[in-house]
């Protein structure tokens, strides 16, 4: 079956701009989580959505937001981009029975570079 699909794979933005990243989970998966990966901080949890509701949120500023649609697809948005937002953004999906207890399926990520 098709895996988790993230678009775009690569993008370059300048400081102050905003960006929207998209994630299509595996068919039948209702939970989508987002993680930020940087060389310095490693993998950090951003947020998790289940049935269009944000179920959990990591320790990130309000510039980071997300949403989930009725078909379980998810988007995350970063406004007023800063250089430190340059990272690989990974999306993961699961059936939704509390993702922390089960296997997360990850996409290949969206690599954001902020100049």
Partner 1 sequence: AQKVTQAQTEISVVEKEDVTLDCVYETRDTTYYLFWYKQPPSGELVFLIRRNSFDEQNEISGRYSWNFQKSTSSFNFTITASQVVDSAVYFCALSEPLQSTLTFGKGTMLLVSP
Q: Is 16 in the site for partner 1 (CB under 8 A)?
A: no
101 three-class SS: helix
Q: Is 99 in the site for partner 1 (CB under 8 A)?
A: yes
Phi, psi of 12 (to 5 degrees): -120, 130
Candidates 18-26, 45-53, 63-71, 73-81; binding stretch for partner 1 (CB under 8 A)? 45-53
Long-range contacts made by residues 5-8, C-beta under 8 angstroms, separation at least 24? 5/107, 6/89, 6/90, 6/91, 6/107, 6/108, 6/109, 6/110, 7/110, 8/110
Which CB sits closer to partner 1, 42 or 62? Answer: 42
Total residues at the site for partner 1 (CB under 8 A)? 30
Q: List residues binding partner 1 (CB under 8 A).
A: 3-4, 31, 33, 35, 42-45, 48, 50, 55-56, 58, 88, 90, 92, 98-109, 111
């Amino acid at each position: 079956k098709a895996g988790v699909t993230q678009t775009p794979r690569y993008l370059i933005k300048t400081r102050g701009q905003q960006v929207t990243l998209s994630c299509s989970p595996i068919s039948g998966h209702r939970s989508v989580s987002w993680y930020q990966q940087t060389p310095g901080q490693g993998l950090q949890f951003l947020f998790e959505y289940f049935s269009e509701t944000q179920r959990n949120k990591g320790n990130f500023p309000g510039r980071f937001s997300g949403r989930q649609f009725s078909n379980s697809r998810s988007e995350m948005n970063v406004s007023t981009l800063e250089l430190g937002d340059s990272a690989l953004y990974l999306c993961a999906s699961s059936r939704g029975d509390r993702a922390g207890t089960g296997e997360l399926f990850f996409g290949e990520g969206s690599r954001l570079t902020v100049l």
